Structure formats: C-alpha cells, structure tokens
Structure 1
Amino acid sequence: MFQAFSEWLISEGKSENTIKTYIGVLSQFEGWCPGEFKEAGPVDIQNYLDYLEESQKSAGTIEKHYMAINVFYKFLGQPQVMLHIDRKLKEQKQEVPESLSLQEQERLLKDLETEGNLRNIAMVFVMLHTGVRVSELCDLNCSDVLIEGDKKYIVVRNAKGEVDRSVPLSNEAVQRLQVYLSSIKEKEQKTALFISSYGQRMTPRSVQYMLKKFDVHPHKLRHTFCQQLINKGIDLPIVSKLAGHKDLNMTKRYLIDKKLDLDDAIDQTFSK
C-alpha cells in the first residue's frame, strides 16, 4: 500500500523529501495502531494525534503527522475520514517560499543553453514564465499551446482534463517553445508537448531528475514566478489567478518579505 501511495505522490509532483516524510509518518502511525492499520478510522487517528500532543511533540510535528495522514486518506479516496479530526495548530510562522534570485536564474538559463537540449530549455522557460506546477507542465499537450498573432498563451488543465486557467506566454517563452516544436516530428506534435527520449510523455519525476543536475527543484521555479510578479507590484488576485491558487492566502505568502516596502509606501504617501 505504501508503495502505491509513493507512486501516487510522485505523479502529484511531490518531492523526494516530502514522500520520505509522509511514508515515515505513516510507518509510525501503523506501528502505534492498536489494531489493523488498514482498519484505522477517525477515532484511531484522533487518539494518535492526542498521543503525540501528550508526548510533548511540537505543534509543527503534530501538523506534519496530520498532513501526511490527511493526504494518505485522500489517496485512498476517503477524505471524509479526516473531517472532524482536531489537532494542535502549528504556530503561525509563515515563511516566504524559496525562489531564485536574478543571478541564479541567469546562471540556470545559461547552463541550459550550454547543454543545448531544446526540450529542457523550453520546459524551464515555461515553468519560470508561467508558474505552472510540474504535474501541469507534464500534462500539457501541443494543442494547449496557442501562438497566433497577438494570442500567445498556454491552456492549463486539471486532473480531469478540464480547463483550469489560461496563462499568457512571454516572448522569450514563445521563442523557446517555437524552436523546440520545430525540432520534433510532426506526428509527435499531435500528442504530449514534452516527451522523453523514449517517446513517452514526460513525468514529474523525470523533470525533477533533469533539474536536479542544475541543483533546482520545480517548486522553486514556480515560487520564482510568483515572487517576481509580487515584486513588480502585480495585484494579489491576478497573481493568484495566474498561479492557479485556490486560496488567496497561498499567494499572500510572497508578500511577507515585502512588509518593509509596504510600510514605507504608507509612510511616504500619508506622512506630512
């Protein structure tokens, strides 16, 4: 069961560290369960979280266990199991998602250009300039790229194949995509946009592996996209829509390191 869960997490674009953490948590929960792990229900989960609190575990640790178990039951198709579970809330310590500096971006793009793989170059430009999740990137088909006159954007779909949002493409991203598309065979342009050397659709795991040699994780490219928009003063709802955030609070995380700038803006505007 844990193996199937791991493979599902990979398909969802989770990092190796996240997968390792989730499996570790579930192993601890399984070892604690008084009965069969497969038969664990809401009462067992609540008792386990209470046990962690009684054992003086930190709020962050309890939250980590809660999240891992919550995701596991989503994987099982039983999200209702977690509906009425209470846990000690994690202390509010919001951190700005880690992103690439301009220098790091330039170095990454230079290294990619040196490597010369047109597919990899196009993928990184799309991730950096549209903020798509790695799973969304891999799900793109050639037909999801629209480059006609002034219309230049990609169509991002959800897990059911339905349109989630459209994201405009920068001129640089368009250029790299056109070069890449011209390099692949016409028959391949009828299916997946990004394909492996084996002729199969790229997977989140293969994209992570490709970026690992550049010491970059796909999540960091997405965070860089959002952070750059915020830094340029783009309104939160617009950034949220482009990133496909379902909760505006997800977007607000990128504002934290801008607090001083916001304070200065008020002082400069209203101080006499």
Structure 2
Amino acid sequence: MDKGSGTSLQGEMVVQEFIYILTIQGELTPKTLKEYASDLKHFTEWYKGKDIRSEEISFRIEDVDTSTLVNYREESEKVLQLKPSTINRRLITLKRFFKWAVSESKINLDPSKPLKFIPEDKVSPRRMTTAEEQSFILAVENGNSLRDRTILTLMFHTGLRTMEVCNLMPSDIELGKRSGELTVRADKRNSQRKIPLNMTCIALLKMYMEGLSPDSPYLFPSEKTSDRLTERALRHLIKKVMTTAGLEGLSSHDLRHRFGYAMAEHTPLHRLAEMMGHINPDTTMIYVKGLNANLSSSAEDGESEPH
C-alpha cells in the first residue's frame, strides 16, 4: 500500500465534498449530517493511526479495501467495545460514502459492499401514550392550515415516511363514499404498496383536494414555491406541532411507530409489513414484540386492558 505523504488532504477533501453534497440535498437533518461527519472523522483518524510505526499514514480512499473495513469493524467491537448500534451506524455511513465515491468516479470499486453488519437485538420503539396522541391531535386541529392538518392527520393514520408524503401525487389517492386507498409508488427500496384510509383521512382529503389546483403535480406542494414540499420543511412542521402539543423530542418516526403499534393489534404480520413498506417482516416484528411486552407487564401488575 502506498502511504506517500501529500495525499491525506485529498482524502479528507473527498470526505468534505461528500458532506457538502448531503447538506445541499437537504434530505438529512442537521443532527444526522453531524453524525455522518463525526463517523467519517472517526474512521479516518483510526485509519491514520492504525500503523504500529510512529509515522502517520495518509488517508486515501483508493487505499481502503474490504479487509481494512473488516478490521475497523472488529476493533470497534472487540477493542473499543462499542455498542452494535453505534458500530452499525458508522458502517452505514461508510457504505453510503463509498457508494457515492464510486458513483462520482473517485474510486473504481466499492470496498464496503461485502461488509456485513453486527447482529443486534432490535428494541421495540416507545409507543405514544393515549394522552400524547390526544395532545398531538389537538395541536394539529388548532392553528394549522387545511393542508397542514391533512398532512399531519394522514401521517398519524398511515405511518408514511416523510419522503413518501412529499412525493405523493393527487392520482395516488382513491376516495369513495365510505372507503379510500392511498398508493405509495415504488422506490429503490420497496415495491408499490397500498394503504387503506379511514374515515377521518377520507373526510379531510376530500375537503383539501377540492381546493387543490387541478394541474398540481404534487398532492402537498410547497406553499412558497408550489413545487415539491421538501422533507426539511415537513420535519419543521412536525417539530412545531410537537412543541405546541408539549411533546418536544417526538418526530415523524414516532408517528410511524404509532401507526405500527395500532395496526399490529389486529393486522396479520405479512399485511402490516406490506403496508409499512418493510422488505423483511422481521422488522415489523418489533411492534408485535412491543405489544406482547406491554401485555406481559400489565398482567404482572394485575391490570387488564380493553381491546
């Protein structure tokens, strides 16, 4: 391996370019961007200090191979004793970085492609309480435009990801008198899927779509540009409503989890996986396990809950 000096800056400049591209795309939160930058800095510092000699190794991405990444993963686990979730998050960052580097012709082959994650026990996410759900609904109904009320109510009852909400088109909505359906078009991760709409969503969508411009390409266009609503703007809306509801710290993920738990009570696992866009039904099991854990806890406390 060529460890010639004068090329480390080049490697770090590639990292900076990657972070800059992610920033201007506007799809990640500031917190996630900060984590990406921190993860890549951790790897480059580890790489430059991994030689037993005193001299520092220059960081050049073309010198990183799969065995190097495997060593980084194993040392993170066995020497640094980091949590599997932390290691896997860093591996995800590296995988995205090297995939981007290949797409930009910075390197010819992606060394991270064969890299496997460390198995970790999936902990069921916290479920919103009934009081939290009521607080959220009240905050949605007060002081928000019809468009924003429709967006937030739809997320509450369908578990859509922010990206999926922003990409919705009017043609993705089918409304009958007492039934309705929403289509999430195919993306790189999932095939097309359909989600049934309850009467609350149907009533709001009918009212909202009556005032929507007939030539609008998006169901929820930006109020400023009339173009696609950005995920950053949508996250800002959700954060504002959560703060109003006294639920600081909750996000779109909590609305998605709320839907997962609510549907897991009476929906077959394979169907729920389809509705949530999970490729692997094992991912959907976190909601079933979470429900079972709550039932076990209630039984131990001598409580019973109506269903």
Matched, 1:72 2:94: no
Correspondent of 1:205 among 232, 243, 254:
232
Bigger radius of gyration: 2
Normalising by structure 1, what TM-score? 0.82
1:244 matched to 2:277: yes
The letter for the 2-side match of 1:156 is V
Structure 1, residues 76-120: CA drift from partner, whole Å, max 9, x if none?
457953243356x3553x321233222212211211211131111
Tell me the equivalent position of 2:129.
Answer: 101
C-alpha distance in 1 between matches for 2:277 and 2:205: 22
Instruction: Report the count of equivalent residues.
Output: 256
**AA partner of residue 82 (structure 1):** S
**Does the aligned pair in 2 maintain the 1:5–1:72 contact within 8 Å?**
no
Distance of 1:236 and 1:77 partners within structure 2 = 37
Match of 2:13 in 1: none
Q: Which moved more, 1:53-62 or 1:168-177?
A: 53-62
Higher helix share: 1
What is the letter of the counterpart of residue 115 of structure 2?
A: I
Q: Are residues 99 and 203 of structure 1, via their aligned partners in 2, closer, same or farther at CA, if it must alter by over 3 Å? A: farther
- In the other structure, the counterpart of 1:229 is 263
Per-residue deviation, 1:163: 5.9
Q: Distance in 1 between matches of 2:291 and 2:186?
A: 31
- Counterpart of 1:187 in 2: which secondary structure? coil
Residues 59, 90 of structure 1: 8 Å contact kept: no
Query: What amino acid sits opposite 2:41 in the alignment?
Result: S
Unaligned runs of 5+ in 2: 1-17, 48-56, 104-108, 243-247, 300-307
User: Which residue is 2:111 aligned to?
Assistant: 81
Shift of 1:254: 0.9
- Structure 2 length as normaliser, TM-score? 0.73
| Letter paired with 2:21 | A
Q: Within 5 Å, which residues of 2 pair with 1:187-198?
A: 187-188=215-216, 191-198=217-224
Alpha-carbon contact 1:5-1:75 (below 8 Å) kept:
no
- Quote the Cα distance in structure 2 between the aligned partners of 1:252 and 1:54: 29
Contact 1:155-1:163 within 8 A present in 2 as well? no
CA distance in 1 between counterparts of 2:67 and 2:58 reads 12
Structure 1, unmatched stretches of 5+, are 265-272
Distance 1:160 1:48, change over 3 A: closer
* Distance apart, 1:161 and its partner CA: 11
SS in structure 1 at match of 2:61: helix
1:179 matches 2:179: no
RMSD of aligned C-alpha atoms?
2.8
Higher relative contact order (CA 8 A, sep 6+): 1
Judged with a 3 Å threshold, the aligned counterparts in structure 2 of structure 1 residues 195 and 77 are, in CA distance, closer, same or farther, namely farther
Corresponding position: 1:38 with 2:61: yes
Q: After the TM superposition, which of the residue ranges 251-260 and 197-206 deviates more from structure 2?
A: 251-260
Task: Specify the alignment match of 2:74 in structure 1.
Answer: 50
- Alpha-carbon distance between aligned partners in 2 of 1:103 and 1:126, rounded to the nearest angstrom: 19
SS class of match (2:114): coil
Given the superposition, is the C-alpha separation of residues 19 and 187 from structure 1 closer, same or farther in structure 2, using an over 3 Å criterion?
A: same
Paired residues for 1:9-24 under 5 Å: 10-11=26-27, 14-24=28-38
Q: Which residue of structure 2 lines up, in the alignment, with residue 62 of structure 1?
A: 87
Distance in 1 separating the partners of 2:251 and 2:185 = 22
Q: Following the alignment from structure 2 to structure 1, what is the Cα–Cα distance between the partners of residues 116 and 274?
A: 31
Deviations 1:1-24 (A, max 9, x none): 21213455x53xx54433322221
The CA distance in 2 between the partners of 1:179 and 1:238, in whole Å, is: 29
Secondary structure of 1:153's match? strand
Does the residue aligned with 1:208 lie in a helix, a strand or coil? helix
String of CA shifts for 1:52-90, please: whole Å, max 9, x gaps: 345333243333322321233344457953243356x35
Q: Is the 8 A contact 1:140 1:156 kept in 2?
A: yes
Counterpart code for 1:227: Y
1:252–1:75 distance in 2 versus 1, CA, 3 Å:
farther
CA distance in 2, matches of 1:3, 1:105: 37
Secondary structure of the corresponding residue to residue 154 of structure 1: strand
